[in-house]
């Protein structure tokens, strides 16, 4: 869609307001709105000004002015606003140099797609994330100088089997048994379907929706794979739609990886494949029907996984899910059907077009543009340097004896560890100027200052259970 087409669509739909959206550094969609009369063809080149110093991880106050440049190809009508509103996803530009802003996550994703073509390896990187989430009925939390708590609730929570609900009708999924009984055990079929249909109406192709393993309303809706940048845009819409559909019905959605103790956390298994001139490059005659290039791609992810986790598992809470011996795939190995491996080769179809690799370690708290870009750069580095992933591990990793487990490397155990790995291993990300040193440094500094240190400095509520009577 070109700018003139966007203006025609706005007129046809009776649009009165334009909502300009962009992704901040940590990964939360931001927006501001202008009257439709402010949108002209020239706006798609000249943009709109805003204060970049108020956005996390961006400009200092003495250099705060920035521009958003709308991307005409992203135009959609918002499905929730009462007033007809056109939404345009924007790129960020420095108003003095008119150059793209290095810390704009969407710009990083654009550079990956450009870099791929210069390598000659392929022309399209397809990404297919499976973002899990929780649907809760009530959430309360506080963290102050002398008080800290959180409390979550759900009509589906196994912890509510004894609650007086006037009447309590039972039908609450037992811990780790939410995958996936029919209603009345599953309370959110209609809600997930509304989410699915809203996404489809926005032009986002959905493959399936279902309940997930955990009690308390865990769910998954799978988007059909799309090119990297497009999927980054779609993941932003995905989170927005799910949160707003839930909110409309008196529920709340969270993509926090581990909101519940003692049950499964939310992952975002991410499928990756490379195509060239309309042909899939990951199908072949090697292990599990993949090509040598696919095996090299696996080698790249395994080699750089610890550094990747700084972007794919970017919160302190992420590592409450990534715990050895539990459900999360922390072991750096690959297999065809073994879901306990960090990388799996799905075997649902023998079609060459379906051949891809599935990286199972990421979680949905990530900034999609940055996470997908980092994964893709590891894949390309593996192919370029012919990184051998070693032999597949087709055993259940969790049943291996200690002497065998000692030979299987593991994902980082904390955000601090993953950031240290990123600091030591980021040259592969900087090829083609995709990630810059400025982006790497600011990511590490922001995460340490805004997340790691504040969590470190606060007593944990469970510490009172352990230590108050010492």
Q: Which residues are known to be catalytic?
A: 51, 130, 132, 212, 220, 269, 339, 358, 360
Distances (CA, A) of 129 to 228, 301, 362: 11, 16, 9
**3-class DSSP state for residue 122?**
coil
Q: What are the beta bridge partners of residue 160?
A: none
Structure tokens, 87? 């939404």
CA 227 – CA 278 distance, rounded (Å)? 12
CA 198 – CA 80 distance, rounded (Å)? 10
- Secondary structure E strands in 224-349: 226-227, 252-254, 268-276, 279-280, 334-335, 343-344
Tallying the residues shown for the chain, one arrives at 470
Strands 357-359 and 268-276, by their bridges, are: antiparallel
**Residues sharing a CB contact under 8 Å with residue 77, sequence separation 6 or more, in sequence order:** 13, 15, 84, 85, 86, 87
CA 237 – CA 231 distance, rounded (Å)? 10
**Residues sharing a CB contact under 8 Å with residue 449, sequence separation 6 or more, in sequence order:** none
Are the C-beta atoms of residues 134 and 218 closer than 8 Å to each other?
A: yes
Task: For residue 414, count other CB atoms closer than 10 A to its CB.
Answer: 15
Structure tokens, 314? 């970017």
Distances (CA, A) of 317 to 261, 331, 363: 12, 19, 10
User: Residue 356 burial by CB count (10 A; 0-12/13-18/19+): exposed, middle or buried?
Assistant: buried
DSSP 224: P
CA 205 – CA 220 distance, rounded (Å)? 14
CA 217 – CA 155 distance, rounded (Å)? 8
Residue with tokens 């009577």: 469
Are the C-beta atoms of residues 73 and 89 closer than 8 Å to each other?
A: no
CA 78 – CA 85 distance, rounded (Å)? 6
**3-class DSSP state for residue 133?**
strand
Are the C-beta atoms of residues 168 and 161 closer than 8 Å to each other?
A: yes
The phi-psi region of residue 351 (left if phi > 0; otherwise alpha if psi is between -120 and 50; otherwise beta) is: beta
- Secondary structure E strands in 71-115: 76-77, 85-93
């Amino acid at each position: 869609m070109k700018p003139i087409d966007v203006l025609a669509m706005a007129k046809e739909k009776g649009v009165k307001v334009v909502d300009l959206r962009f992704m901040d550094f940590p990964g939360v969609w931001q927006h501001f709105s202008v009257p439709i009369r402010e949108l002209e063809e020239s706006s798609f080149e000249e943009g709109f000004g805003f204060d970049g110093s108020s956005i996390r991880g961006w400009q200092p106050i003495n250099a705060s002015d920035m521009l958003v440049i709308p991307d005409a190809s992203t135009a959609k009508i918002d499905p929730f606003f009462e007033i007809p509103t056109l939404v345009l996803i924007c790129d960020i530009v420095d108003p003095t140099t008119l150059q793209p802003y290095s810390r704009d996550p969407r710009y990083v994703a654009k550079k990956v797609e450009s870099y791929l073509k210069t390598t000659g390896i392929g022309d399209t990187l397809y990404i297919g994330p499976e973002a899990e989430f929780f649907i809760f009925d009530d959430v309360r939390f506080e963290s102050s100088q002398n008080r800290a708590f959180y409390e979550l609730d759900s009509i589906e929570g196994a912890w509510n089997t004894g609650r007086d609900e006037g009447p309590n009708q039972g039908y609450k999924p037992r811990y780790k048994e939410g995958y996936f009984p029919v209603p009345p055990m599953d309370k959110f079929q209609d809600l997930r379907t509304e989410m699915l249909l809203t996404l489809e109406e926005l032009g986002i192709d959905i493959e399936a929706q279902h309940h997930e393993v955990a009690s308390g309303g865990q769910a998954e809706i799978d988007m059909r794979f799309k090119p990297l940048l497009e999927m980054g845009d779609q993941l932003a819409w995905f989170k927005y739609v799910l949160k707003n559909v839930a909110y409309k019905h008196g529920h709340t959605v969270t993509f926090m990886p581990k909101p519940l103790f003692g049950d499964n956390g939310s992952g975002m298994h991410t499928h990756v494949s490379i195509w060239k001139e309309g042909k899939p490059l990951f199908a072949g005659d090697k292990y599990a029907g993949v090509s040598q290039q696919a095996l090299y791609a696996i080698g790249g992810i395994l080699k750089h996984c610890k550094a990747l986790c700084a972007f794919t598992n970017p919160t302190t809470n992420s590592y409450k899910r990534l715990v050895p011996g539990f459900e999360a795939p922390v072991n750096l190995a690959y297999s065809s059907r073994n879901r306990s491996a960090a990388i799996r080769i799905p075997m649902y179809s023998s079609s060459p077009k379906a051949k891809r690799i599935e990286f199972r370690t990421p979680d949905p708290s990530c900034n999609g543009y940055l996470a997908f870009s980092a994964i893709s750069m590891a894949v390309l580095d593996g192919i370029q340097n012919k990184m051998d992933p070693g032999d597949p591990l087709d055993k259940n990793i969790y049943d291996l004896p200690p002497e065998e487990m000692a030979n299987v490397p593991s994902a980082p155990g904390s955000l601090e560890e993953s950031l240290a790995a990123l600091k030591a291993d980021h040259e592969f990300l900087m090829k083609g100027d995709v990630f810059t040193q400025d982006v790497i440094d600011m990511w590490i500094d922001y995460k340490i200052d805004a997340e790691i240190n504040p969590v470190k400095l606060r007593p944990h509520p469970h510490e009172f259970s352990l230590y108050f009577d010492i």
